[in-house]
A and B are shown apart, each in its own frame.
Chain A
Amino acid sequence: DTGVSQDPRHKITKRGQNVTFRCDPISEHNRLYWYRQTLGQGPEFLTYFQNEAQLEKSRLLSDRFSAERPKGSFSTLEIQRTEQGDSAMYLCASSVGHNSGANVLTFGAGSRLTVL
């Protein structure tokens, strides 16, 4: 088990371009989360999946953001028409997904986005 993998680790793009991030969770984890973290702040919840179902999406997420988890394994987060305010670290986390117990989130190293 290699933990949660995120790709790319760094992305620099021009305003208006589209970007896509990929997350590969721990294989036996059925819950997957996306968070956004800006400098000096805590992770902000964006969305989460149980298997392939997207169960909640933050109101912070504009319609330029979309996330998928097509087969309940890896997930992608796409940002269309990027803006400078989208510059942040995008964190992916996964958890086992029992309805009781800790369900500790294991985080990936993050994908840092810089929009010029």
Chain B
Amino acid sequence: AQKITQTQPGMFVQEKEAVTLDCTYDTSDPSYGLFWYKQPSSGEMIFLIYQGSYDQQNATEGRYSLNFQKARKSANLVISASQLGDSAMYFCAMRGPGGYQKVTFGTGTKLQVIP
């Protein structure tokens, strides 16, 4: 069974600083994918970044990077140069292998960027 754990209910970060949001996962499958989504107060789920379990390099998308440590089963999101618009809920998610495409979400971390 897949499981995603986000242990930080809330985080604060100063504007322009970097912040790391933690995510650990549990799966027995060697093939899986990891995602981060952002959910602003308006409610829409916005895809940020993806990491495949066989990807050799950590994923990066603009100010977002994913610190993937496979042996530790962690997939932390790093946001550099935080902006006020980054204030939102952030969810880590995992999908299963191959044709088994169920996507499981963590409980989320609420990030607040302080001016």
Contact = CB atoms under 8 A, between A and B. Distances in A.
Given A104-B35, A105-B47, A99 B105 contact: no
B47 A42 contact: no
B105 to A, nearest CB: 4
B45 A107 contact: yes
**Chain B residues touching A, majority SS:** strand
Contacts, number: 59
Contacts of A91: 45
Contacts of A56: 102
A87 interface: no
Contact of B50 (A42, A44, A100, A104): A104
Contact of A105 (B103, B106, B108): B103
B91 interface: yes
Interface residues of B, number: 24
A89 B43 contact: yes
Tier of interface size on chain A: 20 to 34
A43 interface: yes
Contacts of A100: 98
A45 B103 contact: yes
Contact of B33 (A43, A50, A103): A103
A102 B52 contact: yes
A93 to B, nearest CB: 8
Interface string A58-98: 00000000000000000000000000000001010101010
B38 to A, nearest CB: 11
A101 B95 CA distance: 11
Interface of B: 4, 6, 33, 35, 37, 43-45, 47, 50, 52, 91, 93, 95, 98-99, 101-108
